Amino acid sequence: MHLYDYAKGLVLEAGNNLRQWMTEALEIETKSNPNDLVTNVDKAVEQFLVDQITTTYPQHQIIGEEGHGHDVASLEGITWVIDPIDGTLNFVHQGENFAISVGVFKEGKPYAGFVYDVMRDTLYHAKAGFGAYQNERLLEPVADTALAQSIIAVNANWLAGKPISPVLEPIVSASRSTRAYGSAALEIVHVATGQLAAYMTPRLQPWDYAGGMIILNEVGGVATNFLGESLALTHPNSVVVGNKAVHEEIMSQYLQPQHDFLTALHQKYHVKK
């Protein structure tokens, strides 16, 4: 079976499993802080994906949120970057608004991206160079917008007295309005579909954006860190994604003038340069 078709089927199967496992007892643990949660379902979904991939493609590398491949430094060959549940807080509290996110890379280059909105049974997927889809519907190129006429996504926690707040607040004020969905993968695909014009966060792990950024690329969107650099797959980064026009406006008018401050802040958030 073609790798892309295999990956697509695997993500859908993982989603079916997830919906079944949701009906069983949920075990919740905290990770880095009381709001950083992981459940037995997160672990089960990742283990299912890892087991299937390693059985079918034993030579492939896997980087997964819940412990697999965190020491991967080289992206030679084929690498899968997996988030079994992106939006675990939503999963725990709402039972929806979360996604399975998978990015597949060949020699470090994008090959295929998948973001599965599990409870809406909506799969966003793309093979590099062949367009992006929402289920079976081909997505149109994302339209350019001006920030003043745009809805953007920012987690409000970053606006509440954090060091980055003075940088983000003017961008929020200049936009038409702001939303927070609690799942980076879904927020990135919302940019790809035009529901959002941009999404920003000062710190994000590769498994949160690996699948979504491939989909975004296929509709002409832009994904960089706050310094305008490409997003790395082996360490966390700041992230700003958007249609080309609003991304350029955010970068040139708000982020580039703060370059020295943002460079220092990258070090504060332990983002490797």
Q: Which residues are annotated as a binding site for Mg(2+)?
A: 65, 83, 85-86, 208
Chain centroid to Cα 205, Å, comes to 8
- Contacts (Cβ under 8 Å, ≥6 apart) of 11: 100, 102, 114, 116, 123, 125
- Contacts (Cβ under 8 Å, ≥6 apart) of 120: 96
- Our CA dihedral for 37, 196, 216, 113, rounded to 10 degrees, sits at 40
- Of 92, 72, 90, the closest CA to residue 206 belongs to 72
Please give the Cα distance from 22 to 91 (Å, whole number). 9
Helix and strand counts by DSSP (H, E) for the chain: 8, 14
Please give the structure tokens belonging to residue 179.
Answer: 């939303």
Query: What region, left, alpha or beta, does residue 16 occupy, with left being phi > 0 and alpha being psi -120 to 50 degrees?
Result: alpha
Encoded amino acid at 173, one letter: S
Q: Is 120 helix (H, G, I), strand (E, B) or coil?
A: helix
Binding-site residues sit at 65, 83, 85-86, 208
